[in-house]
Amino acid sequence: MIIVTGGAGFIGSNLIRALNERGESNILLVDHLVNGRKMLNIADLNIADYMDKSEFIEQIKSPTFLNGVRAIFHQGACSATTEWDGQFVMKNNYDYSKRLLHCCIEKNIPFIYASSASVYGNGDHGFSVDRRCEHPINMYAYSKFQFDQYVRRLLPETTSPIVGFRYFNVYGPREQHKGSMSSTAFHFNQQVIEHKIAKLFEGCDGAANGEQRRDFVYVGDVVDVNLWFLDHPELRGIYNVGTGKAETFNNVARAVIEWHKEGNIEYIPFPEHLKGAYQSYTQADISGLKTAGYAKDFLTVKQGVTKYLDWLNLGVN
């Protein structure tokens, strides 16, 4: 059996879909479906069982519960960067992850988990997997950073397969439940459909209007990286998962407008509440992935957005 926590979420549900395409259906999906609309992400997936996160946390205390498990993809977390209840975030993202990690080490189960590029903060020191680059600026980022630190301390003490992925700006199918936290590609698509206008922030941090740049990575590429490491359990460590190339928000908007063959860009004032807590530039250093042997090309924004909108608006997989 394979376990996917956060399996009804964005990346988790895409992982399960890809596993299904490999012929895998002996999958335990773990989630916390307070938002029942997430079931739309999993209605077309084949799994062996579903378990609520709270029950799963209790069950892993049993010494035999994880017997026969081939791998765990730990995607479950509180992912809201605007959540400032530190106790809540650390309990869900740090304590939970530690508990599951130790269970996997005890049984030598490959543990593949989601970290985040948010650990780099405003990126003043770069985006390499290096302590000198890491300076989280919100609770979500801190919880991910602190778990990475915990993993770093444990790695020399075990030979168990442990891999963490620092996801950059992921976009693509099955993210609609995230609301305001959905990608700009999702929001621009809705705006163009409804108003024929894509709304972008005015310039900030020295960038011109809409010229803030991020490393936008298509969810299918993220899934491919996860499965490649599943197939290479000899590899361990923490890796950036992005394209390695920053593109502008203008590029994302233009790709959406080009797909619809109509629409314009409108620039709106930069929100006060985001000043000092916004990444105007991200670009993954993916040298670690390349050194590990991962050689598949990542989609550009134009390629990925086109594929995403085909799925979002036409139902094309």
Catalytically annotated residues: 140, 178
Give the Cα separation of 72 and 316 in Å (integer). Answer: 29
Give the Cα separation of 66 and 47 in Å (integer). Answer: 17
The letter for the amino acid at 8 is A
Kindly calculate the radius of gyration of the chain based on its CA atoms and give it in whole angstroms.
19
Compute CA distances 202 → 162, 199, 207, 249, whole Å.
41, 9, 9, 11
Give the Cα separation of 283 and 255 in Å (integer). Answer: 20
Residue at token pair 């956060």: 6
User: Edge-to-edge strand order for the sheet containing 237-241?
Assistant: 49-52, 27-31, 2-5, 71-74, 111-116, 162-167, 237-241
